[in-house]
Amino acid sequence: MTCLALAAVSACGDSVSSASSEPASTPFVSIVHLNGIDASGVTGVQYTIAPKPGTVSSPVHVEYSMAALAARGYLADGRLTVPVFGLYSGYKNQVSIELTKQTGDPTSLEIEIQTDDYVDPTGTYANPTVLTRRAPGSSLGFNFMYLKSNLGAPVIIDTDGYIRWAGTGVSSAVSSAIVGDTFVIGNQTLPTVYKLRLDGTITQSDLPTDGYVDFDHDIARGKVGLLAEVDTMGEGVENIESNVIELQDQTSPAILNRWDLGSILTAYMSSQGDDAAAFVRPGVDWFHSNSVIYDPSDNSVIVSSRENFVIKLDYQTGAIEWILGDPTKYWYTFPSLRAKALTLAPGGLYPVGQHGLSITSDGLLMLFNDGLGSLNEPAGEPAGISRTYSAVSAYSIDPSTMTAEEAWRYDAGQMIYSQICSSAYEASEKSILVDYAVADDETKALLVGLDANHNVVFEFEYPTNGCGTSWNARPIALDDLNIER
């Protein structure tokens, strides 16, 4: 256990006689023990990590309820411990801790936490090539982002390019989402769910139902739990990347809902007189689901099929509401599917090979428009268009007229092509984080922060092999993280 420098203490009623820490799994986390404090009167704990001089990203700021600390084992026998994550590695961090109480003034203390250097086992994230450095005073609605690495656990970096958190214990974080202070991660070879907390602790459990093979792509917030794409087995044949489940994100995972796109499309197409077996082909990656979101505006789920289209389903019934996709692809040759197709206003880009669905603050459907046509259509059938650049597209959709309009687009001057993987997500103030996962002929991962006017605020480049470095990247509010339970 290492004693910390206790720089200053101001207290009313209680005093903190000393603070000590013990190492966690990585230098980005320190478990801080506060001695000489009566925890019975404390109602909450918060800490702030001061930024390095010359940086622009906001301070890490985290607030814990006492219930959350107790649930994590950090409150026992009246002794209070605070897991501090988001530290700089190889640096003397200046950390402010404040304890709020039922009565009286808060107890505040300033400590220094000297961390060890971080040795990145991947050799990838510690030294990005900074193409555009974030300038002081720049307007951007996020300060931290996490990369869904295929090289190991998620990695959190700030908008100055510093690693602020990296985990251990998992081999891939492609299928992952953050819930409070916990990454929920799906195994890509087994039906296993990991819970990796930002304090470094990890647990695992299996999906409760037989027939599930593994997780295949993203995990995102759903109506009640988490939406995930999974592979399943049926009648001895693997249903590849064509099933979506809603997973309860509590201690023991339960499957709340399931949407089998093969069954849904087969039933609908057959009811309309089409040969569904020509389109739905179990054992083949005919659908390739890679993103799914919940739309609260009409109680629906929207699924990205990389091979075909974006499709909206009624949350309760699974009924097809509409389809948005390239009409020069194979799917459009089926009259039943064509009847559900939205017509895109002239001048718009259809989604092609898309990833990273989301709903913007303006209610638009936003996605990363990769631009690569289909890869697994039957021999001789149309794969659709392929472009030479990628874009971020945001669509306004009118289901009453079955029309769509590309409300805006960001295409970086049509100079960047990231044909697979990748993502784009909105943060506050309409800022956008764009992740070109396989730029420069699949050798570079490029992270770009855009302000509300789509001006580039920062650009970081990392080496990659395929989608390994950053399959997907999302903003994370490490500067305003409230952990309530």
Structural domain count, the chain: 2
CA distance 172 to 187: 7
Say whether both 108 and 152 belong to one domain: no
Q: Residue 121 falls within a domain, yes or no? A: no
Domain that holds residue 6: 2-114
Whether 330 has a pLDDT exceeding 90, the answer reads: yes
pTM recorded for the entire structure = 0.94
Total H helices, total E strands in the chain: 4, 37
Model pLDDT, residue 211:
92
Whether 103 has a pLDDT exceeding 90, the answer reads: no
Buried b (16+ CB within 10 A) or exposed e, 65-98: ebebbeebebbeeeebbbbbbbbbbeeebbbbbe
Query: Domain end: 63, 86, 114, which one?
Result: 114
Say whether both 403 and 359 belong to one domain: yes
Say whether both 374 and 442 belong to one domain: yes
Model pLDDT, residue 7:
44
Q: Residue 244 falls within a domain, yes or no? A: yes
- Cα torsion angle, 224, 225, 228, 231, sign: negative
Among 18-22, 127-131, 378-382, where is mean pLDDT lowest? Answer: 18-22
Say whether both 26 and 134 belong to one domain: no
Model pLDDT, residue 251:
63
Name the residue among 58, 52, 49, 48 with its Cα closest to residue 159.
Answer: 58
Query: Domain end: 66, 90, 114, which one?
Result: 114
Q: Over the stretch 384-422, which tens digit does the pLDDT of each residue have?
A: 999 999 999 999 999 999 999 999 999 999 999 999 999
Q: Residue 211 falls within a domain, yes or no? A: yes
- In the predicted model, what is the mean pLDDT of residues 270-283? 98
Distances (CA, A) of 135 to 2, 52, 130: 36, 14, 12
Question: Which residues have a Cβ under 8 Å from the Cβ of 198 and sit 6 or more positions away?
Answer: 29, 83, 85, 86, 165, 181, 182, 183
Q: Residue 124 falls within a domain, yes or no? A: no
Say whether both 162 and 80 belong to one domain: no
Say whether both 404 and 373 belong to one domain: yes
Annotate 188-246 with DSSP letters as a single string: SSSSEEEEEETTS-EEEEE-SSTTEEEEEEEEEE-SSSEEEEEEEEETTEEEEEEEEEE
Q: Over the stretch 13-25, which tens digit does the pLDDT of each residue have?
A: 455 556 788 878 8
Q: Residue 399 falls within a domain, yes or no? A: yes
Q: State the CATH number of the domain containing residue 53.
A: 2.60.40.3100
Name the residue among 30, 387, 375 with its Cα closest to residue 200.
Answer: 30
Say whether both 105 and 179 belong to one domain: no
**Number of Cα atoms under 13 Å in the Cβ half of residue 200:** 18
Say whether both 230 and 336 belong to one domain: yes
Model pLDDT, residue 10:
40
Q: Residue 269 falls within a domain, yes or no? A: yes
Distances (CA, A) of 211 to 234, 271, 291: 7, 27, 21
Q: In what order do the strands lie in the sheet with 202-206?
A: 176-179, 182-186, 192-197, 202-206
Say whether both 170 and 255 belong to one domain: yes
Q: State the CATH number of the domain containing residue 214.
A: 2.120.10.30
Query: What confidence category does residue 76 fall into, taking pLDDT thresholds of 50, 70 and 90?
Result: confident
Model pLDDT, residue 376:
96
> Which pair of tokens denotes residue 33?
């023990």
Model pLDDT, residue 13:
41
Burial of 117 (0-12, 13-18, 19+ CB in 10 A): exposed
Q: Residue 172 falls within a domain, yes or no? A: yes
> Which pair of tokens denotes residue 354?
């898309």
Say whether both 225 and 340 belong to one domain: yes
Say whether both 80 and 227 belong to one domain: no
Model pLDDT, residue 273:
98
Q: Over the stretch 216-252, which tens digit does the pLDDT of each residue have?
A: 999 999 999 999 999 999 888 999 999 999 998 766 6
Say whether both 35 and 162 belong to one domain: no
Q: Residue 461 falls within a domain, yes or no? A: yes
Start-to-end C-alpha separation, the chain = 28
In 337-390 the beta strands, taken as DSSP E runs, fall at 343-344, 355-359, 365-369
Q: Which amino acid is at 348?
A: G
Question: Which residues have a Cβ under 8 Å from the Cβ of 433 and sit 6 or more positions away?
Answer: 142, 145, 423, 424, 425, 427, 447, 448, 449, 450, 473, 474, 475
CB atoms within 10 A of CB 327: 18
